[in-house]
Structure 1
Amino acid sequence: MTPYGSFTFFFIVAILLAPTIILGLQGKRFQTYNMFVTILALGLIFSSTLRGAIALILFTIWQVLLIKSYIAYRKKANGNSIFYLAVILSILPLALSKLMPYFSQVNLIGFLGISYLTFKGIQLIMETRDGLIKKDIPLSRLLYFILFFPTISSGPIDRYRRFEKNFQAEVTADQYKLLLYQGINKIFQGFLYKYIIGYSINHFFIAKLRFYAHSQFEHQLYYMYSYSLYLFFDFAGYSAFAIGVSYIMGIKSPENFNLPFISRNIKDFWNRWHMSLSFWFRDFVYMRFVFWIMKKKWIKNRNLVSNLGYILLFLLMGIWHGLEIQYILYGIYHALLMVIYNSFERFNKKHKWWPQNKFTHAVAIIITFHFVCFGFYIFSGQLFHKGV
């Protein structure tokens, strides 16, 4: 069963979380019960595919062994080679699952949510190496963090230390009332975004573009903007569902969207769009690449290092979506936008060519919106496959 894909799913989740709500409203702890709910929910989600369930179990065992082994190793030593090996081994199942469809009709490794679970595993290894995670993590809590069902399929990607803080917190009845209220609001927002606005755009406009467009150019233009809006409302709606259910379970999963279509530049856009993913790539790819290059002193020009970091980041982000041409070009497109804007930003600091006022702010939002929509047009594959 697809998470948040049917009203039946919401009905079952409501029944499963009824004891959580009762306990929360009484000011009693409910995290142990929520662990049990996560197991039941995962059984429901993977009930239609035995292969996927087996892949999830084997993947989880693999990640837990890696994380536990590296935490134990880190207490005794701090070798870079072991750290790199742990990261590579953590990424390996995801890499194989992305490559396998090109060699076999059956993907024995891939399953729903493998990307986001992998990101959590890599994060734990890297933060252990950085000294941010110093203590051993109880097995039950580690499993709960990795497999937390509300966010399993498409995020948001939580950070362990933030998750742990929520898990350990003593929540009073009044505090839980606020969490419950915020969670229900988020779920209703998700219904508005995904099942009303997103559905209407897709069903009443995108599916009927032939009635609105009088030329091929108009058809592609209308598709570009409508697809961009549909993608936002569909994905933001899903994220709202995941965050809402998380809140009801006492976990404040991070926000994933912050009005991305009013971004004033491409950097601002990536600070607003799929934020948990973009921040993950920023912290664990971009920042580490820049720090590593500057530490080795291979390149002394900070601007060049920064631009190379953007190219690496967005190429990886594009490839992560898939090896199809549209995803790779989408990554290259955003890498170029970031490099160009980075250069423009430095130029403007010296020459003050673009003043900061309400008019230029509005113009910047309009310009950014068009560039972002063209990026989504590339991402959709419509540029290479005409016809909706």
Structure 2
Amino acid sequence: MQLFSDTSFFILAGILSIPAIIMGLKEVSIRFYGFGVTLIFLWLAMGHNLRALIWLAGFTFGEYAVIRIYLPLREKYGRNKHIYHIFLALSILPVAANKVLTAVGNPYHMFAFLGISYMSFKVIQIVIEIYDDVIHEVRPFDYFYLLWFFPTVMSGPIDRSRRFNADLEKVPARSEYIEMLGSGLSRILQGLVYKKVIGTGFYQLMQWFGLKAGFSHALIYMYCYGFYLFFDFAGYSSMAIGLSKIFGINTPENFNKPFISKDIKEFWDRWHITLSHWFRDFIFSRVTMGLIRKRFTRNKLVIATIAFIINMGIMGCWHGLTIYYILYGLYHGILLSLTEIYQKKSKFYKKHKKDRWFCFLEWLITFHLVMFGFFLFSGRFTQLLLR
């Protein structure tokens, strides 16, 4: 069973949502029932694949052991960077191994299970925030539910442990749950239209007109792929958010009209928000602070440029160790760096940044730069180059 794709998923999700709705209307906690439903969908989504389930269990319990061992060490030794780096590396190791093995065909089927990338983000966040002295306790139920929560396990949105746990602890009043339910059903319907109708339409146009030889067909592919990617992924995210609400969880937003962005920085504040904000908080800001502390340079623009390229380069590698994903990450790292330099240094920008004609021009340039980035991401660009 494919989550948010197969008809069987929607039928079963609808049936299993009924008890959750009744519990929500009666102001009864849904957390334990939701966890049971999550286990059902994990089993079905894995296709009864025993090997994948064993790797999933090994990953989940292994990462929990990393967290449980690090917690008392953090309390005993404080902000010891050597200990922290060891446990951070251990939390990153499974997803790094998954990316490397996937690049070589993964002959041993190691870490080849649904959702490892998105679960890893949550584990890494917990380890980092233990080091930051923000998290002092990780309860087993909360941890497993956070990682396995079925609406978001496959492709996000990426929730943060403290925010998720706050929702678990809270039992909304009837009136609040009715509002969540109405919003959730609306988001599911919106997601279905985005993914199944509009996204499918752009995908068919891409297949019919974009795969032929020639520059014009490459352009058709580029723009159709960009819109397909948005409506498919935004549609999935909307359905995940909607279904989460039915089970009492206010999963964060993932998209906010990204195609109206006036520059690349604004785009990454609107596109795949939970991913871009995760990278901003846990990679970009820490690289920046590290370079400042080490007095690498006093030039803040140089520091920002290095941090942007490292940040987006890692994001590209996270998508996969292929040339087109790495190029996509570096491309956006360079664009973000150039945008930062231009906005900080250009007198022309500072003079005209509020003018309507200039805002329109910014939007137009940004839109096409974003679409070319999606062209890189699709792999079609490198495929055409290598012909």
- Band the TM-score falls in, shorter-chain normalisation: over 0.9
Q: TM-score, normalised by structure 2?
A: 0.95
Q: What residue in structure 2 maps to residue 231 of structure 1?
A: 229
2:180 aligned partner, one-letter code: L
The 5 Å alignment of 1:28-177 reads 28-78=28-78, 79-101=80-102, 102=104, 104-134=106-136, 136-177=137-178
Secondary structure in 2 matching 1:131: coil
2:27 aligned partner, one-letter code: G
Aligned residues: 383
Return the alpha-carbon distance in structure 1 between the equivalents of residues 21 and 299 of structure 2.
Answer: 55
Q: How far does residue 241 in structure 1 lie from its aligned partner after superposition?
A: 1.1
Q: State the percentage of identical aligned residues.
A: 39
Call closer, same or farther: CA 1:355–1:122 in 2, change over 3 Å: closer
Call closer, same or farther: CA 1:148–1:381 in 2, change over 3 Å: same
Return the alpha-carbon distance in structure 2 between the equivalents of residues 170 and 248 of structure 1.
Answer: 12
| Residue 344 (str. 1) matches residue 342 (str. 2) | yes
Does the aligned pair in 2 maintain the 1:47–1:53 contact within 8 Å? no
Q: How far does residue 367 in structure 1 lie from its aligned partner after superposition?
A: 1.0
Return the alpha-carbon distance in structure 2 between the equivalents of residues 223 and 57 of structure 1.
Answer: 40
Secondary structure in 1 matching 2:267: helix
Call closer, same or farther: CA 1:210–1:94 in 2, change over 3 Å: closer
Call closer, same or farther: CA 1:355–1:99 in 2, change over 3 Å: closer
Q: What residue in structure 1 maps to residue 293 of structure 2?
A: 295
Does the aligned pair in 1 maintain the 2:210–2:218 contact within 8 Å? no
Q: What residue in structure 2 maps to residue 368 of structure 1?
A: 366
1:379 aligned partner, one-letter code: F
Q: How far does residue 108 in structure 1 lie from its aligned partner after superposition?
A: 2.0
Does the aligned pair in 2 maintain the 1:90–1:121 contact within 8 Å? yes
Q: Deviations over 1:312-343 (max 9, x none)?
A: 00110111111111111111111111111111
Match of residue 332, structure 2, among 331, 334, 342:
334
Secondary structure in 2 matching 1:383: helix
Secondary structure in 1 matching 2:352: coil
Does the aligned pair in 2 maintain the 1:281–1:313 contact within 8 Å? yes
Call closer, same or farther: CA 1:156–1:345 in 2, change over 3 Å: same
Q: How far does residue 76 in structure 1 lie from its aligned partner after superposition?
A: 1.8
Cα RMSD, aligned residues only:
1.7
Q: TM-score, normalised by structure 1?
A: 0.95
2:76 aligned partner, one-letter code: K
2:266 aligned partner, one-letter code: D
Return the alpha-carbon distance in structure 2 between the equivalents of residues 287 and 382 of structure 1.
Answer: 32
Structure 2: gaps (5+ residues): none
Return the alpha-carbon distance in structure 2 between the equivalents of residues 104 and 111 of structure 1.
Answer: 12
Does the aligned pair in 1 maintain the 2:188–2:243 contact within 8 Å? yes
Return the alpha-carbon distance in structure 1 between the equivalents of residues 25 and 349 of structure 2.
Answer: 59
Return the alpha-carbon distance in structure 2 between the equivalents of residues 17 and 355 of structure 1.
Answer: 49
Return the alpha-carbon distance in structure 2 between the equivalents of residues 77 and 345 of structure 1.
Answer: 43
Q: What residue in structure 2 maps to residue 2 of structure 1?
A: 2
Return the alpha-carbon distance in structure 1 between the equivalents of residues 222 and 77 of structure 2.
Answer: 53
1:63 aligned partner, one-letter code: E
Does the aligned pair in 1 maintain the 2:319–2:325 contact within 8 Å? yes
Does the aligned pair in 1 maintain the 2:258–2:270 contact within 8 Å? yes
Call closer, same or farther: CA 1:220–1:83 in 2, change over 3 Å: same
Does the aligned pair in 1 maintain the 2:343–2:350 contact within 8 Å? no
Structure 1: 4+ residue segments shifted above 4 A: none
Deviates more, 1:244-253 or 1:356-365: 356-365
Structure 1: gaps (5+ residues): none
Return the alpha-carbon distance in structure 2 between the equivalents of residues 384 and 359 of structure 1.
Answer: 35
Q: Deviations over 1:211-243 (max 9, x none)?
A: 9x7x70100011111100000000001111111
Q: How far does residue 198 in structure 1 lie from its aligned partner after superposition?
A: 0.4
Return the alpha-carbon distance in structure 2 between the equivalents of residues 29 and 320 of structure 1.
Answer: 36
Does the aligned pair in 1 maintain the 2:353–2:359 contact within 8 Å? no
Q: Deviations over 1:147-172 (max 9, x none)?
A: 11110011000011111111111311
2:322 aligned partner, one-letter code: E
Q: How far does residue 362 in structure 1 lie from its aligned partner after superposition?
A: 1.8
Secondary structure in 2 matching 1:297: coil
Q: How far does residue 37 in structure 1 lie from its aligned partner after superposition?
A: 1.5
Does the aligned pair in 1 maintain the 2:210–2:220 contact within 8 Å? no
Return the alpha-carbon distance in structure 2 between the equivalents of residues 178 and 351 of structure 1.
Answer: 44
Call closer, same or farther: CA 1:259–1:351 in 2, change over 3 Å: closer
Q: Deviations over 1:179-230 (max 9, x none)?
A: 1111111100110100000011112x1111069x7x7010001111110000
Does the aligned pair in 2 maintain the 1:314–1:332 contact within 8 Å? yes
Q: How far does residue 349 in structure 1 lie from its aligned partner after superposition?
A: 5.4
Q: How far does residue 72 in structure 1 lie from its aligned partner after superposition?
A: 2.2
Q: What residue in structure 2 maps to residue 268 of structure 1?
A: 266
Does the aligned pair in 2 maintain the 1:51–1:108 contact within 8 Å? no
Return the alpha-carbon distance in structure 1 between the equivalents of residues 279 and 196 of structure 2.
Answer: 30
